């Protein structure tokens, strides 16, 4: 699709929005009320501008709900502030559950015997005190996160607590989607193949363990008054190429060149669900 440019003429009584093609042709022109924020307030000003632009897009034959290319974020703040759902987070939740159970601070959701034994074997300790160097003085995040693999083995073998921590990880990963979904364009929410979700990170290799919590959380979200009938479904995709390919594409675009990419070959759908 050709690039379209827009402009707004603000006014105290009337305002205008114009969409222009790259060759200078005026594609659409709409009018609206006052956009003087000193008179009507910032919120009302934004409402009027948005209304004019949406009407102009419809007048120009553009899809008013097409994705705008904007970014909305949630999480990704590192293990100290927000690494929820990661391998480290899963390992930490399991270890913390053992600590809390032994301290009788919080009753565990399931028996901790298997997880405690796996923890002692993995970290080569014999009690909780032995864990402290691994948690503080000698803390190494990659090594600590590696305990997640042992928990995955326990979950696959049927240990209830191991299965629980992975289900919780799936639930909290889905909550990241819940946080940003209100900003998603309608064309994505109602896509015939479902909302595209790109899943990056080794934790997704344990999808079958994450699945119970993840799918339950999104099903609950889809049944809310806000998203019922709008959030049609979702598809989880894994990268088939290095994300560096995208970097090369952006680099080429930055110098005015174009790389032709087969986008369908870059990802693989490993799970898809549509809400009825």
Reported as a single tens digit per residue, the pLDDT across 215-234 is 999 999 999 999 999 999 99
Specify whether 94 is located in the same domain as 142: yes
Cα distances (Å, whole numbers) of residue 91 to 97, 121, 208, 233, 248: 10, 14, 17, 30, 35
Do residues 130 and 98 lie in contact, with contact meaning Cβ atoms separated by under 8 Å? no
User: pTM (2 decimals)?
Assistant: 0.76
pLDDT score for 245? 76
pLDDT score for 65? 60
Domain carrying residue 29: 1-64
Q: Which residue has the tokens 């759902």?
A: 85
Domain final position from 153, 173, 193: 173
Specify whether 57 is located in the same domain as 2: yes
pLDDT score for 226? 95
Beta bridge partners of 9: 16
Domain final position from 120, 142, 173: 173
pLDDT score for 1? 56
Domain final position from 131, 158, 173: 173
Looking at the domain assignment, is residue 49 inside a domain? yes
User: What are the residue ranges in the chain where pLDDT is below 50?
Assistant: none
Looking at the domain assignment, is residue 112 inside a domain? yes
Looking at the domain assignment, is residue 2 inside a domain? yes
Measuring CA to CA, which residue among 40, 25, 144 is closest to residue 94? 144
pLDDT score for 67? 64
Looking at the domain assignment, is residue 7 inside a domain? yes
The structural domain count of the chain equals 2
Helices (H) and strands (E) in the chain, counts: 11, 6
């Amino acid at each position: 699709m050709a690039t379209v440019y827009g402009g707004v003429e603000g006014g105290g009584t009337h305002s205008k929005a114009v969409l222009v093609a790259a060759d200078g042709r005026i594609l659409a022109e709409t009018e609206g009320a006052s956009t003087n924020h000193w008179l009507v307030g910032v919120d009302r000003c934004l409402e009027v501008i948005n209304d004019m632009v949406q009407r102009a897009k419809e007048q120009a034959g553009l899809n008013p709900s097409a994705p705008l290319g904007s970014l909305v974020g949630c999480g990704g703040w590192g293990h100290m502030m927000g690494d929820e759902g990661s391998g480290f987070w899963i390992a930490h939740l399991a270890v913390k559950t053992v600590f809390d159970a032994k301290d009788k601070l919080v009753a565990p959701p399931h028996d901790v015997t298997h997880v405690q034994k796996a923890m002692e074997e993995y970290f080569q300790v014999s009690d909780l005190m032995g864990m402290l160097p691994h948690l503080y003085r000698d803390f190494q995040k990659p090594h600590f996160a590696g305990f997640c693999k042992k928990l995955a083995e326990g979950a696959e073998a049927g240990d209830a607590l191991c299965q629980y921590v992975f289900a919780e990880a799936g639930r909290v990963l889905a909550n990241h989607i819940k946080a940003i979904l209100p900003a998603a364009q309608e064309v994505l929410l109602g896509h015939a193949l479902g909302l595209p979700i790109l899943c990056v990170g080794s934790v997704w290799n344990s999808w079958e363990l994450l699945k119970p919590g993840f799918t339950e959380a999104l099903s609950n979200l889809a049944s809310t008054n806000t998203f019922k009938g709008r959030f049609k479904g979702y598809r989880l995709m894994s990268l088939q190429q290095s994300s560096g390919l995208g970097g090369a594409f952006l680099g080429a675009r930055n110098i005015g060149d174009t790389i032709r990419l087969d986008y369908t070959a870059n990802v693989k759908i490993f799970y898809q669900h549509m809400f009825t």
